[in-house]
Amino acid sequence: MVKVAVIGLGKMGISHLSMVRALPGVEVVGIVDATTYLLGVLKKYTGLNTYTSLDKLLADVTPDAAIVATPSRLHYPMVKQLLGAGLSVFCEKPFTLASVEGDELVQLAAAKGLVTQVGYHNRFVGAFGEVKRLLDAGAIGTVTHGLAEAYGPVVLKPQGGTWRSKSTEGGGCLYDYAAHPLNLINWYLGEPDGVGGTVLNSVFSAEIDDEVSSTVYYPGGQTVSVSVNWSDESVRKMTTRITLWGTGGRIFADRQEVQVYLREDSVIPEGYQAGWNVRYTTELTEPVNFYLRGEEYTAQLAHFIERVERNETGGVNTFESAVVTDRLIERMIEDSKRGPRVLISDDVIKEPVKQSLPAKVRTAVASGIKRVRALLPGQK
C-alpha cells in the first residue's frame, strides 16, 4: 500500500485526488488546501484527513509520496520541503519557474534516492508515444524540421483574478500551454542548442502572454517552429499538435491520431507501409483501471505509483527531464526581450549566403565526421 498526500485542490489537484484514490494499492492519507470550505465539504463527504498547510500534514501523517498541484510558484518550496521529509514527489507542470531551482531539486531527490515525476501527461498519450516509437525506429530518417503547436479557448476576453493571470507566478500561455508541445519536442529531439525570434504576445491579458511563437534550434541545422495560442475560440478544447518532417517522410500527431507518410526508400516499421498510414487513438491507447479525463492522466499516476512501490528512480517525466523544458522556457523568455534582429529599414544588407536545408545538414554531418576522425588513432 502506497500512502499518498495530495497538495493543492484546484482543477488538477481535484482530478488527481479522484484518480489516485481510485487506483488499487493506494491510500490517500491526507489532502492540503487553503480553502477551508472545500476542505470541510471533502472531510464530511469523503472521510479524508484534511489540512490547511503542508506543515500540519507532515506533523500528523507519514506519506510515502505526494502529488503537488499548487500554483506554479509554490512548486519549488513545497517540493523541496517534501523531498527533505523523505517523500517521493509527483509535481504538476511546469516544474519550477527557474531551472536552477529545478536542478537543485533534481540533486536533492537523487541524493535521497526518491522517485520524481512531473505531470507532462502528453507523454502518456498513445498517439504521442507512437511518434516517439516511430522516431526511435528511424522511420522518417533524419528529422529536418518540426512544428509544435497548441491552441485552445482559455483567455477569450480581458480578465484577471487568479495566479494564472500573473507572469511572476507562472501564469501565461507559455508556461501553461506551450510547455506541453515544448516538452514533447524535448522528448523527441532532446535538448536544443538555442532559440530565436521568440514573441510572447498578449491578445487580451494585461500582464501575461496569450500567444507564443518561436524557433528552436538543434545541432545540425534542425529547427522547430513553435506556434501556441490559448485565446483561440475556434477550437472546442485544448489541442496539441506535432508535425515532423524528415528525409524519409513526415509525421503528424495530435491526441486522437497519428498520420504518417513514409517514402519508399525509408525504414518502414512493422505494421506500416510506404505512403500514408493512419493510426487512431482506439488502437493506440492502453486501457486503464479508472478513467476520468483521458487514459493518459491515470496512466501517468499509475506509472508514478508503480515506481514508488518499486523504488525505481528512472522513468518517464522525471524531474531531470522536466528541467530541460523549464530551461527552454526560460531561454525563450530571455529571447523574447530582444525584438526583431533585422529591420526592414536597415540600409546595409549583407550578401545573403544561400544554403538549402539538406546542404546545411550535409555540412553539419561532414564537420561531425571530421571531428570523429580527429579522435581516431593515427589521425592528425
Binding residues for other proteins, rule: CB under 8 A, are 9-11, 14-15, 17-19, 21-22, 35, 37-38, 40-48, 153-155, 159, 161-162, 164-165, 235-237, 239, 254-257, 280-283, 285, 287-293, 295
Q: Which is nearer to other proteins, 116 or 122 (CB)?
A: 122
Q: Which is nearer to other proteins, 236 or 371 (CB)?
A: 236
Which three cell numbers, joined as nine digits, stand for 124?
502518456
C-alpha to C-alpha distance for 114 and 319, rounded to whole angstroms: 11
Q: Provide the minimum distance between the beta carbon of 177 and other proteins in the complex, in angstroms, as a whole number.
A: 11
Q: Provide the minimum distance between the beta carbon of 161 and other proteins in the complex, in angstroms, as a whole number.
A: 6
- Residue 192 region, left (φ>0) first, then alpha (ψ -120 to 50), else beta? beta
Q: Which is nearer to other proteins, 256 or 313 (CB)?
A: 256
Q: Provide the minimum distance between the beta carbon of 74 and other proteins in the complex, in angstroms, as a whole number.
A: 15
**278 forms bridges with which residues in the sheet?**
259
C-alpha to C-alpha distance for 380 and 377, rounded to whole angstroms: 9
Q: Which is nearer to other proteins, 206 or 366 (CB)?
A: 206
How is residue 361 annotated by DSSP?
H
C-alpha to C-alpha distance for 298 and 283, rounded to whole angstroms: 18
How is residue 169 annotated by DSSP?
G
Q: Which is nearer to other proteins, 37 or 371 (CB)?
A: 37
How is residue 350 annotated by DSSP?
P
Report the run of H or E that residue 189 belongs to, with start and end.
helix 179-189
Selection from 350, 317, 379, 347 nearest residue 94 by Cα: 317
Cα-Cα-Cα-Cα torsion 334, 338, 340, 345, nearest 10 degrees, comes to: 180
Q: Provide the minimum distance between the beta carbon of 234 and other proteins in the complex, in angstroms, as a whole number.
A: 8
Q: Which is nearer to other proteins, 73 or 80 (CB)?
A: 73
Helix, strand, coil shares of the chain, percent, nearest 5, are: 40, 20, 35
Q: Which is nearer to other proteins, 167 or 313 (CB)?
A: 167
Q: Which is nearer to other proteins, 103 or 149 (CB)?
A: 149
CB 55 within 8 A of CB 34: no
Q: Provide the minimum distance between the beta carbon of 25 and other proteins in the complex, in angstroms, as a whole number.
A: 15
**Single-letter code of the amino acid located at 47:** G
Q: Provide the minimum distance between the beta carbon of 311 and other proteins in the complex, in angstroms, as a whole number.
A: 26
Q: Provide the minimum distance between the beta carbon of 365 and other proteins in the complex, in angstroms, as a whole number.
A: 36
Q: Provide the minimum distance between the beta carbon of 204 and other proteins in the complex, in angstroms, as a whole number.
A: 11
Q: Provide the minimum distance between the beta carbon of 39 and other proteins in the complex, in angstroms, as a whole number.
A: 9
Q: Which is nearer to other proteins, 27 or 60 (CB)?
A: 27
**242 forms bridges with which residues in the sheet?**
148, 253
What is the residue-wise DSSP string for 17-47? HHHHHHSTTEEEEEEE-S-HHHHHHHHHHH-
In angstroms and rounded to an integer, the radius of gyration of the C-alpha atoms of the chain is 23
